């Protein structure tokens, strides 16, 4: 090996002397970029799950309002206008959740009983359903939706600044849902 370097002309030695550190630097840069891409992909996954949690919470909030007025209408026939008005926000929230469904099961409507919402609304409108059934139906939907509402990040160091906020949001969601 020593003889090989002694026989090499000076310009070839200089090229080799510059090329080896340059190759090492390129490998380090490629590894650094790959690591950054992984972090960005992970953060994007968290962002999508947080966005989904926001959509689920909006749907839960809208369903709680609809549950309140549907229960009152089934109980004593009052607040029909309020009940009708509170159905549109539920439909909008359901559609928004469907549009962002890439991270949850496509069968979430069957799981959460939202596939029976139109039939239940029809039964409420015609007063064919008891108030207790209305309350039970909407409470089951809300409970099932809340099970889809988890954003866990584990112990990721660079997510530490937002983890208290995410955990607080989950606790507040549970308090509001089960009040």
**Angstrom distance (rounded) from CA 2 to CA 78:** 98
What is the pLDDT, as a whole number, of residue 100?
79
User: What's the pLDDT at 8?
Assistant: 84
Neighbours of 124 (CB within 10 A): 23
Q: Which of 4-8, 51-55, 97-101 has the highest mean pLDDT?
A: 51-55
Q: Which two tokens stand for residue 59?
A: 């749907």
Q: Is residue 173 a contact partner of residue 149, using CB atoms and an 8 Å limit?
A: yes
Q: Of 86, 97, 14, nearest to 55 (Cα)?
A: 97
What mean pLDDT do residues 33-58 have? 87
Report the chain's mean pLDDT, rounded to a whole number: 85
Identify whether 68 is part of a domain. Answer: yes
pLDDT at residue number 62: 96
Of 5-19, 61-75, 128-142, least confident by mean pLDDT is 5-19
8 part of a folded domain: no
What residue numbers bound the domain in which 167 lies? Answer: 17-177
Residue 55 lies in a domain: yes
Position 57 in a domain: yes
Whether residue 99 lies inside any domain: the answer is: yes
Provide the domain count of the chain: 1
**Residue 101 belongs to a domain:** yes
For 78-109, the pLDDT digits (tens) are 899 999 999 999 999 999 988 876 555 668 88
In-domain check, residue 168: yes
Task: Kindly tell me the burial class for residue 78, based on how many C-beta atoms sit within 10 Å of its own C-beta (0-12, 13-18, 19 or more).
Answer: exposed
pLDDT at 88: 96
**Is 6 within the bounds of a domain?**
no
1-10, 50-59, 126-135 — most confident range:
126-135
pLDDT digits (tens, 9 = 90+) for 105-131: 668 888 889 999 999 999 999 999 999
Are the C-beta atoms of 177 and 60 separated by less than 8 Å? yes
User: Which residues, including other chains, have CB under 8 Å from residue 42's CB and lie 6 or more apart?
Assistant: 156
């Amino acid at each position: 090996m020593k003889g090989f370097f002694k026989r090499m002309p000076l310009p070839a030695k200089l090229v080799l002397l510059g090329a080896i550190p340059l190759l090492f630097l390129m490998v380090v840069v490629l590894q650094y970029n790959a690591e950054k891409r992984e972090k960005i992909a992970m953060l994007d996954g968290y962002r999508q799950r947080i966005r989904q949690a926001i959509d689920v919470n909006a749907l839960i909030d809208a369903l709680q309002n609809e549950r309140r007025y549907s229960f009152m209408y089934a109980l004593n026939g009052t607040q029909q206008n309020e009940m009708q008005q509170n159905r549109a926000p539920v439909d909008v929230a359901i559609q928004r959740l469907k549009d962002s469904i890439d991270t949850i099961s496509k069968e979430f409507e069957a799981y959460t009983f939202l596939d029976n919402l139109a039939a239940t609304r029809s039964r409420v409108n015609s007063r064919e359903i008891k108030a207790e059934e209305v309350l039970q139906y909407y409470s089951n939907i809300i409970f099932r939706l809340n099970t889809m509402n988890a954003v866990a990040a584990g112990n990721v160091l660079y997510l530490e600044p937002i983890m208290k906020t995410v955990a607080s949001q989950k606790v507040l969601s549970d308090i509001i849902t089960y009040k």
